[in-house]
Amino acid sequence: MITITRNLPLLLRNLPKRRNNPMNIKHALFLTFTSLVGGGLLHTSPVMAQNIDLSHGGQITITALGGFDWDQNAKSVTAYDQAKAIRGDVTVTADRLVALYRKKANTGDNNQPKPAGDTQNKSNDLTQNESGSNEIYRLYAYGHVHIYTNTDQAWGDKGIYDIDQATLVLTGKNMKITTPQNVMTAKDAMEYHSNTRMSVGRGDASVTNLKNGHRIQADVLVGYSKPNDQKDPNAKNKQPDNKQAAGNPDDMTRSSKLEKVDAFGNVVVRTQTETIRGDRGVYVPDTSIARVVGNVHITRGANQLNGHAAIINMKTGIAHMTEAPGRRVQGLVVPNETNNPKPSNK
């Protein structure tokens, strides 16, 4: 176990390399750095959202069963076999993790007391030009990627986290982002932007409310979240309880709450009895109201209405169709359809 606080390349030189690690011993690498958005000065309150955010929160700890490769020229560290990176409440696991690092801008660290061992003469060190504090600015994850906090989770085959932009991009099969309230899926790519609390699903994307089953689909979905409204009046003075398990029910109030979903292309909204299709849409979970515009079709059994826009109350299942000025709503209505006997299986 090696702790790296000032000279990352120097100490990485002493790490066992993957190819020289036949015993498959577990190794740990600690990478301490301050992010560009304030680093350790920004901490997550115990009652705030547990978002998938690696852009701040203290040191990153990387472990792996297969050891590490260090490329000094590329300034990268690769962890193999059940690799795991942890920063604060956020954990990333994958078959392989690649961390890119760079020299950190001068933040006055030279005025801080030097850790023990830094006072020795390193004039003969081949990495002396690399001395000083370093920071990770990008993390790549490959194979069986799983990123999670106490409340939020994300899965994919490949993940890229840009720490400067606080942005996660997932690609591959079976991509999914979950919170205690909602599930977002997509086929092409998924994004999560921590700074703006924005989630993006691309390619046959869907958002499903886990509580009531309300669902909206589109080519592209953009979800905007906000911290849960529930607040603890003693939050400033309250300290986290280390005895609380990760599955504590209180964690359900810490996750971001979905505020709005914008839908683009081949929008589909389903209620208990109707299917509404259109070009664009917006869904507000708090009100259970969805609005779909552009070539709208409302289908209920054999009945269909066509118009310019529709407002759907997903709680009551009632949809109201409107048309552009000067035009009329059109449709096909089958009389007494609900009274028609069902075909017999005999």
- How far is the CA of 276 from the CAs of 86, 143, 201, 217, 315, in angstroms? 43, 37, 20, 10, 14
Cα torsion 56, 57, 58, 59: sign: negative
Does one domain contain both 317 and 206?
yes
Question: Would you say residue 196 lies in a domain?
Answer: yes
Q: Are 83 and 184 in contact (CB under 8 A)?
A: no
Does one domain contain both 184 and 142?
no
Structural domain of 40: 1-163
Does one domain contain both 84 and 122?
yes
Q: What's the pLDDT tens digit per position in 104-155?
A: 876 554 444 444 444 444 333 322 334 458 889 999 999 999 999 999 999 9
Q: What's the pLDDT tens digit per position in 300-317?
A: 888 888 999 999 998 888
Last residue of a domain, one of 163, 191, 207: 163
Domain count, the chain: 2
Question: Would you say residue 66 lies in a domain?
Answer: yes
Does one domain contain both 182 and 295?
yes
Last residue of a domain, one of 113, 129, 163: 163
Does one domain contain both 209 and 120?
no
Q: How many Å apart are CA 176 and CA 184, to the nearest integer?
A: 6
Query: Of 157, 160, 185, 155, whose CA–CA distance to 172 is shortest?
Result: 157
Q: What's the pLDDT tens digit per position in 43-67?
A: 223 323 357 888 877 888 999 999 9
